[in-house]
A and B are shown apart, each in its own frame.
Chain A
Amino acid sequence: MAKKLMKGCEAIAEAAIRAGCKFFFGYPITPQNDIPEHMAARLPQIGGCFLQAESEVAAINMVYGAAGAGARVMTSSSSCGISLKMEGITFIAGAELPCVIVNMMRGGPGLGSIQASQGDYFQATKGGGHGDYHMIVLAPASVQEASDIMQRAFDLADIYRTPVMLLADGIIGQMMEPVEFHEQESKRELPEKLWATTGWTPDSCRKRAVVNSLYITNEELDTLNQRLQSRYREIQKNEVTVEEYNTENAEFILCAYGTIARICKSAITLLAGEGVKAGLIRPITLWPFPSDTVKKAAEQESVKALLTVEISSGQMLEDVRLAVNGRKETAFLGRPGSYLPSAEEIAQTVLRMRRMHS
């Protein structure tokens, strides 16, 4: 199939449709409006339903309803809009329902700005809503990857009965790159949705399906949480994905995701020109976090220090530090408030670290 030049947002929406998404409920917000725009045009063509809800809260609860009925459903928003959806997301996690949520991050806190940011890492990977739950969090770094990852997002949601979040900075959404839609036949074996509320009659041979997130007795809630935790362990065991670039025998290891990971690659080229071997670890799943990869890379004798780079004040940094566990220096470069560190700035930081270590 021929390549198309598309914005990240458009590619995500188109890929979702090709992955079998039939329902989209959302509320507009910059910089992700191209997703609902594309969905509004395309979903009616394939017999699906696009609905602009009256608010983010309404939209996520529509997602809750459609997911409960067993549909492939998604919503998208940006930062402050995602905060509004958080109650719904924890209810969906509590009811063990699959859905996909796209967060095209903008600056925060509060209404913040509309420029790209990575300030929602904590919110996405450590909860966001209340209770002991996790979402699978996927972080693409190009328009092609954002498109390829959608099939996986929906499959993971179905397999593990969990909300899956695609977490990207606004640049991924607004940037145009060539994209090729591969014929997406799901390679994963998907469980039958016996829990879905598709209509029960007395002669149905299955149990009556009830979707709920209230487990009022201690025993019931404990059973749910044990089940969730064992599922999360399965996810951590099976679903970690990460790109390692140039890390073997590197002196310095950069850790970054999304757009910043690409700027880091430019910095690595600049550093090579200065005779410094630097590598990059780019988590593609932010939760589960690729702790083992970071740990192994950091343990190499050649490695002097790690530098985490983010468009935030240092959020993923904490997961890097947990993985490295004091074995090596773990420095940070980042700026909140939508400013992006440049490749030159990253390279300069590494050169400064190198002088400290020599």
Chain B
Amino acid sequence: MLEQNIFAGFGGQGVLLMGQLLAYAGMLEDKHVSWLPSYGPEMRGGTANCSVVISDRPVASPIVTKASSVVVMNRPSLDKFESFVQPGGTIFINSSIIDKKAERDDISAFYVECNKIAEELGNPKVANMVMLGAFIQKTGCVDFENVLKAILNKLGEQKANLIPLNREALKRGAACISQS
């Protein structure tokens, strides 16, 4: 197993967090993981992305140039990263704010209305968790419950009251895949 993923969006959408939660969940499953953020002066209000590798062998390169899956949360990320998907790979598109379809026909594309679903759940901040739910449902690279453990670890006990909301967001995202 070697899952090489890219998560991309604009600063504030929680794309770095999505990647961290995935890496943390992978670590809980004793997989080899790496999380590498883009960092630079462009991060304020600009684009943000991270590469997450999950493998059953030690991670060689933490840099992803041929991705098994790419998650794009905004339009510039789709334009930039569609070409990074390996033939046969998957792209996850936040169709709430991206009005364009994937151009390639040698990859599978899934469209998730992250922002719309998050608003239905009463908190626009969980749009990233909706997408993460869809991602896990499709790739199966980590267990749903371990992602929740990762979220709890990140939130800390004091904010554990936010777990049900996040669980719901993950589930709604997952449902988008099972229905499609």
Chain A residues within CB distance 8 Å of chain B: 3, 5, 30-31, 114-115, 170-171, 174-178, 259, 262-263, 265-266, 269, 340, 342-344
Contact = CB atoms under 8 A, between A and B. Distances in A.
A340 B63 contact: yes
Q: Which 6 A/B pairs are nearest by Cβ-Cβ distance? A: A265-B60, A176-B35, A266-B61, A266-B60, A263-B61, A178-B27
A259 B53 CA distance: 14
Residue among B23, B34, B41 with max Cβ neighbours from chain A (10 Å) = B34
A259 B62 contact: yes
B65 A343 contact: yes
Given A5-B20, A5-B23, A5-B24, A177 B59 contact: yes
Contact of B60 (A177, A178, A269, A340): A269
Given A262-B60, A342-B63, 12 more contacts: A5-B20, A114-B39, A114-B40, A114-B41, A174-B39, A175-B62, A177-B62, A259-B63, A265-B61, A269-B60, A343-B65, A344-B66
A176 B62 CA distance: 10
Contacts of B41: 114
Interface in B25-49: 27, 32-37, 39-41
Nearest to B24: A5
A31 B41 CA distance: 11
Contacts of A178: 27, 32-33
Contacts of A259: 61-63
Contacts of A30: 39
A144 to B, nearest CB: 10
Contacts of A170: 39
B37 A174 contact: yes
Nearest to A144: B58
A176 B61 contact: no
A115 B43 CA distance: 13
Contact of B40 (A3, A115, A266): A115
B63 A263 contact: yes
Given A5-B23, A114-B40, A177 B61 contact: no
Contact of B23 (A31, A176, A262): A176
Q: Chain B interface: which size bin?
A: 20 to 34
Residue among B27, B40, B63 with max Cβ neighbours from chain A (10 Å) = B63
A262 B59 CA distance: 8
A175 B36 contact: yes
Contacts of B65: 342-344
Given A3-B27, A5-B24, A114-B39, A177 B34 contact: yes
B27 A31 contact: no
A30 B40 CA distance: 9
Contacts of A343: 60-61, 65
Residue among A3, A31, A176 with max Cβ neighbours from chain B (10 Å) = A176
A114 B41 CA distance: 8
Contacts of B40: 114-115
A344 B61 CA distance: 11
Nearest to A179: B27
Contacts of A269: 60
B44 to A, nearest CB: 13
Contact of B34 (A175, A265, A342, A344): A175
A342 B63 CA distance: 8
Interface string B150-177: 0000000000000000000000000000
A174 B65 CA distance: 18
Contacts of B37: 174
A113 to B, nearest CB: 8
